[in-house]
Chain A
């Protein structure tokens, strides 16, 4: 049983959630899918006096929006992986979701919003969201704002999320014409955390030439970064493009993250090949 006493509520509207958070400030903890925050409470790493559960606040589900998608913060990995619109318009997000470890259980329980708000360098969702140029829609009792995913992730375990704020949804833009998606993750064994991830979306014309490209690397720096892909536009997805991406990804790995799984130096070394494999997965 969790040691510190807390008051629990699961309001049925977002407004009530926001009012509760405004009232309790830093004494309150939001529970999304719970897969992270519940064990942290069990082990005493977090001891909130108030727990506000999002489960009834209507934040789950995927809807179409301006040719792109709006993804409720409480949408689970399983829902993302099984949604044909996600596969079509944001394929790398679906691949990411299907590749979450911990078993089907964690994919049914964990949410993309929870992962984003926790901002662990070595988790899967942040890099995928930056790669897809997502916008994070935030709400508090007094304010609402939209932040680009590339600004939302500020550093290791640090998201641009104030006390009292909730991530309501994530908007993904309409994909470019002829979009193809690639996602790759490097991990040590079947059920280990990612060492590095890369996501790309590439527009390809009728002749197989790249018209536009966006590629992001996650898990390497303390926050995901976008790789400069300007040099591959106009050519095919081939060995030359792959080599260019290797160099560009590695040269941007300037703030690498170290943990028990891998040193920063190792992450920097593998960033190039991980980026390359994501690009080739889109071929």
Chain B
């Protein structure tokens, strides 16, 4: 690699430092360099939401970011959502309500749901549907995802 650069991040609470080609997208570095393949690639155009992660507390589509742009930031991936090896309340609700089938969209759905619930502890169905409008699911028809998020809200209340 000719013009590689060093990237320093905090990933799921751990300091990480990797040598990268500046042409790498954040999602590629997360999957291939940091070896956290739970973040998925669907489209690389920003449309599907499967690559969603949290950067400094805000959810982003990691295919829309150069990895180099994330220098110094704190990243949370799907691997960082479980609490002490136990599924989070939100994850457990998706499990119980059949909120996923193939699971491809799941990391993105969980992050969008987490972002919603952080701002609105008891969202209406419309608000839930609006909050996941940047995430595509080709399996569930969305109804069980909406139920899972409502269930997570009810369990946290």
Contacts and interface: CB of A to CB of B under 8 A. Distances in A.
B28 A191 contact: no
B65 A109 contact: yes
Contact of B115 (A7, A38, A104): A104
Given A1-B21, A108-B60, A34 B134 contact: no
Interface string B103-140: 00000000010011000000000000011111100000
A47 to B, nearest CB: 11
B61 A106 contact: yes
A229 interface: no
Interface stretch (B8-16, B44-52, B83-91, B92-100): B44-52
Given A1-B25, A191-B133, A105 B68 contact: no
B16 to A, nearest CB: 19
A102 B47 contact: yes
Nearest to A54: B69
Nearest to A40: B45
Contacts of B23: 1-6
B6 interface: no
A10 B59 contact: no
A8 B60 contact: no
Contacts of A7: 3, 22
A38 B5 contact: no
Given A78-B58, A108-B60, A5 B2 contact: yes
B71 interface: yes
A31 interface: yes
B22 A191 contact: no
A157 B49 CA distance: 26
A109 B64 contact: yes
B134 A104 contact: yes
Contact of A108 (B2, B49, B58, B135): B58
Interface in A79-130: 101-106, 108-109
A5 B64 CA distance: 18
Nearest to A107: B134
Given A5-B2, A109-B61, A103 B68 contact: no
A35 B60 CA distance: 10
Nearest to A104: B115
Contacts of A39: 44-46, 63-64
Interface residues of B, number: 35
B5 A103 contact: no
A53 B69 contact: yes
Contacts of B59: 103-105, 108
B133 A43 contact: no
Contact of B68 (A42, A53, A108): A53
Interface in A138-167: none
A38 B68 CA distance: 12
Contacts of B5: 8
Given A39-B44, A42-B44, A42-B63, A102 B134 contact: yes
Given A103-B132, A106-B46, A1 B64 contact: no
B8 to A, nearest CB: 13
Interface string A20-64: 000000000001011100110011000000010101000000000
A17 to B, nearest CB: 14
Lowest 9 CB-CB distances: which A-B pairs, in order?
A: A103-B134, A8-B22, A2-B23, A108-B58, A105-B61, A35-B64, A102-B134, A39-B45, A8-B68
Interface of A: 1-8, 10, 31, 33-35, 38-39, 42-43, 51, 53, 55, 78, 101-106, 108-109, 190-191
Given A35-B46, A78-B58, A109-B61, 14 more contacts: A3-B23, A5-B2, A5-B23, A10-B71, A34-B69, A38-B65, A42-B45, A53-B66, A103-B59, A103-B112, A104-B131, A105-B112, A108-B59, A109-B60
Interface of B: 2-3, 5, 21-25, 28, 44-47, 49, 52, 58-61, 63-66, 68-69, 71, 112, 115-116, 130-135
